[in-house]
Structure 1
Amino acid sequence: MAEEEKPRNRKERRAAAKESGKPVEAPTKMPKMKMTTPDYDARPAKGTTLLDIYEEKKDLLSKGQPFDDKYADGLPRGESGNILDVGLGDNEPIGPFGNAVFWSVCLAMLHFTLDVLTYNQYAQDIIWPAIFKRSGTILPILFLAIYIMKSELAYKLGILRQVLFLGVAIAAGCYLIHAGNAYGYFAVMKQAPPLGTLWVYSVIELDLWFAVASLAFNAGFMLWNGYTVF
């Protein structure tokens, strides 16, 4: 009869001891790692902890010494105080190329819709191949323009970028209103879709108060000249 196998681990040893009624034998070898209680009062010889920094800043604030003004912007900074690269906010996930693809497709669809609406307004038979061709032609133009205006260089212009879009929004809106009231149906059918698309995109890119100012200017232009919307 083969000799019974010895328990291989603690679980098996405990199970065997429970079955036999004998207590588990004490270990015959001391562990290599020394078992001691950590010294909670000991402090690191070098460097500081986050708690140390917190206490230091808290002490400065209690003495009326606030943080430097350069930290008031709330931007993430490294240990040296330099601003970390956080991209361009809402534009960061997809970048200029992704924004250009998204907006050019959306605006091409808007151009297509405006083209169809002008045909319906003047009760003309819709020529679908011509509409698709015009929308396909304007798509790469929109992509290039949007890619440029969504680039990091364009955003560095700051207020100048907003002024540029403000001028385009006012010019496109006023000319579209004038064309719709003064020109014949054929001219309106040709000019309304691209002008309307340019107008809408320019207003979208404007900050709130710039957008309100552009729309107010367009409304004033319409009332001053006695034009109507329909």
Structure 2
Amino acid sequence: MAKKQVSEPLINRIPHHPQNDNVPEAEKMRLFESTGLLQKVKQREAELAKQHTTSTEYLWQAIFMSIPFAFLLGTFDITVKVQFSEPWTYSGLLIKSLKSIPALIPFIYLTNRYKSSNITQTIMATSSVVVGSFLLYTMHHSPSLGQMMRAPGLATIWVYFVVQLNLLPAVISLLISATYWYFGLRKP
């Protein structure tokens, strides 16, 4: 058997010569200005700064965001039904999801449109704590019918709030809900 000859790795074949850039900064700036590239960049930055999202765009965002959250609601509904050995069908999932879309659109429109303001972030964080804690309370203290009726909607709204919140308020609201579960609901 002939031994294979080990060759040098390809990474070592790459030339390691530093690029010599002898062009002074003033000359580079003069070249940028003479070609008009710098003006085009500044013009594009000004266009992007002026661009605002319109009400129609927020409406389309609400419509398209309501579709996955509607199916999430339907999925949570199926999950609760399976948990309590209730019958379910795919058509029931589709109907439940489609029925929830008209209710989700205005809710998503308003919260998505103003989600960057501090007031909205505070309201959504507080609502996230309330909804999450109420969901946990419902899961521990309600009979099965109460859980089947409340849990899918509460879980969907809770997930939506956490998704829309900035990272710090989302983490804080989840920690508060977890603290409520750990110290308030968990059995010793």
Alignment of 1:1-230 (within 5 A): 51=30, 76-77=45-46, 84-87=49-52, 95-126=57-88, 131-151=93-113, 154-155=114-115, 158-227=117-186
For residues 96 and 169 of structure 2, what CA distance do their matches in structure 1 show? 30
**Preserved CA contact (<8 Å) 2:131 2:158:** yes
Partner deviation per Cα, 1:178-215 (whole Å, 9 max, x = no partner): 00000010100000010000000000000001110010
Partner deviation per Cα, 1:39-73 (whole Å, 9 max, x = no partner): xxxxxxxxxxx849x7xxxxxxxxxxxxxxxxxxx
CA shift for structure 1 position 127: 5.8
SS of residue paired to 2:45: coil
> Which amino acid is 2:45 matched to?
P
**Preserved CA contact (<8 Å) 2:115 2:164:** no
For residues 214 and 127 of structure 1, what CA distance do their matches in structure 2 show? 35
Q: How many residues align?
A: 148
**Preserved CA contact (<8 Å) 1:104 1:142:** yes
Cα 1:227–1:132 shift into 2, 3 Å: farther
CA shift for structure 1 position 76: 3.3
Quote the residue 2:21 is aligned against.
Answer: none
Partner deviation per Cα, 1:116-162 (whole Å, 9 max, x = no partner): 000011112226665544333221110111112233xx256x11111
In structure 1, list runs of 5 or more residues that go unmatched.
Answer: 1-49, 55-74
Q: Which has the larger radius of gyration?
A: 1
For residues 166 and 90 of structure 2, what CA distance do their matches in structure 1 show? 36
Quote the residue 1:39 is aligned against.
Answer: none
CA shift for structure 1 position 86: 3.2
Higher relative contact order (CA 8 A, sep 6+): 2
Cα 1:199–1:155 shift into 2, 3 Å: closer
Quote the residue 1:15 is aligned against.
Answer: none
CA shift for structure 1 position 175: 0.3
For residues 132 and 190 of structure 1, what CA distance do their matches in structure 2 show? 17
What TM-score, normalized to structure 2?
Answer: 0.69
**Preserved CA contact (<8 Å) 1:178 1:227:** no
For residues 150 and 91 of structure 2, what CA distance do their matches in structure 1 show? 18
Identity %: 22
In structure 2, list runs of 5 or more residues that go unmatched.
Answer: 1-28, 34-43
> Which amino acid is 1:85 matched to?
K
Which structure: greater helix fraction? Answer: 2
Which 4+ residue blocks in structure 1 deviate beyond 3 angstroms?
75-78, 127-134
